[in-house]
Amino acid sequence: MIVAIDGPAGSGKSTVARALARRLGFTYLDSGALYRAVTLLALDRGANLDDGQELGRITRDASIELHERDHHYVQVVVDGRDVSEEIRSPRVTGATSKVAVHAQVRDAMLGKQRELIENGDYVVEGRDIGTVVAPGADLKLFLTAEAGERARRRAAELERRGHAADAEQVRAAIEERDRRDSTRAAAPMRPAEDAILLDTTGLDVDEVVGRAVELVRRAGTRA
């Protein structure tokens, strides 16, 4: 069974996807972590972020391992190096949505993701999971929340991770990223036609996870 969870930054995707995977005993796939890891590689190599060809090559050749661990995020290992924290820095976050616009990058990433989710039960989180990566998913959720609340959540998270976070700057960065993610030609962020929209403004994590579990149960009965 595949559960697809898409939505913009700060909508609560990661928290809900992780909790849901744990509750259901499914494997969690954070597709954003893959895009972030490739972006870090590209930055380290001084690659031109406008060069889709080169970035596609870097994506194809990248060996990225994701490990579950008892932490807020998955552990991400690139070429034997633990980059879990580094890929969440504002520098890498901003660059990631620039790298992610390129069709060559997305094509290479599609293969990697499909390979991973081919066998087993997965909760997959991202921007284009319901529309492109797993269009046949058993359940598709698209999480949203008001921009102000999304920015507050992200600022609090950055502070927890030791990054300076000015609320206005965080909001501007999120808005720019959402705009880039939803207006790109290749696999833009949007809800699939058969996705269930869930507005998480004012809801706590347990409420959202509870609703998601209920929806998975219903989807399971239908299947």
Q: Please report how close the Cβ of residue 209 comes to ligand CDP at its closest, in angstroms.
A: 17
Nearer to ligand CDP, 36 or 171 (CB): 36
Contacts of 51 (CB under 8 A, 6+ apart): none
Nearer to ligand CDP, 40 or 100 (CB): 100
Half-sphere exposure of 50 (CA within 13 A, CB side): 0
- Which residues are at the interface with ligand CDP (CB under 6 A)? 9, 13-14, 31-32, 35-36, 96-97, 100, 126-128, 177, 181
In 79-207, the DSSP E strands lie at 81-82, 122-126, 139-144, 196-199
Q: Please report how close the Cβ of residue 202 comes to ligand CDP at its closest, in angstroms.
A: 19
Nearer to ligand CDP, 16 or 24 (CB): 16
Instruction: Indicate the residue whose CB is closest to ligand CDP.
Output: 32
Nearer to ligand CDP, 140 or 177 (CB): 177
Q: Please report how close the Cβ of residue 206 comes to ligand CDP at its closest, in angstroms.
A: 20
Spatial strand order of the sheet with 75-78 comes to 64-67, 75-78, 81-82
Nearer to ligand CDP, 13 or 24 (CB): 13
- 79 backbone φψ class: left, alpha, beta (φ>0; ψ -120 to 50): left
Per DSSP, the three-state class of 126 is: strand
Cα separation, 133 vs 31, whole angstroms: 10
